[in-house]
Structures are given as structure tokens and as C-alpha cells.
Amino acid sequence: MELYFTVKATKHEDKVPLILLAAGEEGLRRYNSWSMTDDNRKDPQKIFSAFMEQLEPATNHRVCRLELSKYQQKPTETTDIFVNRCRLLAKKCDFTADEVNERLVELLIASTPIPELQKELLNKPKGYKIEEAVKLARSHEASAIYVSQLHQLQGSPQIATINRGTHQQQGSDRKYGQVCKNCGRNHRFGKEHCRAKNGTCNTCGKVGHWATVCISGKHKTKRRQGKTWSNGRNQSRHPQQEFGRKVDSVAKHNDQAMADIDTVMENLTFSSIKPTVENHQIRKTLEMRHLSM
């Protein structure tokens, strides 16, 4: 109120009417109920104090101290704003000047979000002024802002550099004609350039190659098609090849049977036709020849 009167250059005799005008109808009713002398009714400071006694609730210094001990610096608060908020409540705590100073420093140590500031304040001696602590906090807050700005400035170019390097690497891989046996792609010689060097195969579970080029998977496929011996004496055959082998064997057997029949027919005479075991064998041979024809 005094600030308003100073700015407006209000005369002394006009201050009380302005206070009553600002208080409204309820304020005027209270003013009329006070038992004050005429001199006090003309004193703006007395009138303002009387209003504050009725409007401001009674406080308990112990309750205020407990409330002050729970104060924490908010994420959106600077150190200056936090300390000012603590000072306003500390006025109601019935502290001495030294006690106020010590409590404010302790609150700043307990609630600051800057670990470096917290470490520095913990090493300060007893009686360290809160004003000095606030100055130190300002410098740390400014440094944190500068570091954040640097990270933002360096963020975008760094990402662009990484992306450009990736495209260059992909383009350079196309220059190499040899296919890697671990990843199935073209790249420079050496495992360090293979993209599957840290990958795990989904077929055999080993590290260092992909399932698309897994040798174990190919062996399993061959075993399904035909039996494979490790010593190499009996290699796996394709089903069509195996069928052809069996047909050739049957053909050779038939050729041998036909040769035996021709030999018997050349030596056959009417005198040799007797109901003997040999004749029975000849009859069976003729039947086989008839069937083969």
C-alpha cells in the first residue's frame, strides 16, 4: 500500500479514504466498529494494521517451522524464487537472523537438483551466508543451461553425419563382388565389416552368421533326401538317381536270364524231353522268357 501511495504521490490526508475505498463495504463496516481515537483514525498505518489483524489468520511459529522444513525446490523454480518463497514463511517462524540463514542453506542443500552444487554447499563451514549460496547456485544453473544449449546445437549435425556415413558404407559395399559366407552380402574383406558378426543363427543357434547361409541347415536338408555317411563311401543320392540305379539292375538281371534261355534252347532235342527235374527247369525258363516278351 505504501508503494502505491509513493508512486501516486498521494497526500497524507487522502491515504485513509483510499484505504477505505479499496476495502469496500465490508471494510467500511469493520472500520466503523473499531474503538479508535480520532488521531488513529487519521493514521493510514494504524488503519492498515487493524485490517491486517482481522484479515490475516493467526499463525503458530512451530507449525510454520514444520511447514518450512517440508519445502522443496520445484523443477520449474530457480534458486532465487525458491529462497524467496522460503524467506516469506521464515518470517512467521520466530527465528533469529542466524537461524534463518542456516535453515535456508540447509533447505537449498536438501532440494537442489544440481549434484555439483549440493557437494560444494556440504563442504561450506557453519555460518555460510545464504546470499553467497544463491550466487553459487546461479553460476551452476547458468552452466547447466549452456551445456543443454550446446547439446541441442550439436545434436542435428551429428545425426546427419551418421546417416551420411551409413549411405556411404552401403554404396561402398556394392563395389565388392565376393559374397560373404556369414551374411550372404558383398562387403570388404574381414569379419569386422560383416553385419552378421554379432548376429545369432536361427537354425543352429551359433553366433557369427545368419540362418540364410547356415551350413548346418543345408546338411539337414540333404539328410532328409538321402542317407549320408561321414566316411564318404556311400554318398547321398537324389531319388530320381536311385530309381534309375534300380532299373539298370533289373535290366541287367533280365539280360542274364535271356542269355541262359538261349543256351538251353540251343542244346534242346526231342530225346532230351523227359519228365525230369531238368525239364521242369526248362519249362520255368520258357515261361520267364514269355513273360519278359
Domain locations along the chain: 2-55, 61-149, 241-292
3-state SS class at 139: helix
pLDDT bracket for residue 137 (50, 70, 90): very high
- When pLDDT is averaged across residues 210-217 and rounded to a whole number, the result is 78
> Is residue 105 over pLDDT 90?
yes
Question: Are 195 and 183 in contact, with CB atoms under 8 Å apart?
Answer: yes
Global confidence as pTM: 0.44
For residue 124, what pLDDT band results from cuts at 50, 70 and 90? very high
pLDDT tens-digit series, residues 26-78 = 988 988 898 889 888 888 888 988 888 888 777 899 999 999 999 999 999 99
Nearest Cα to Cα of residue 30 among 15, 39, 22, 20: 20
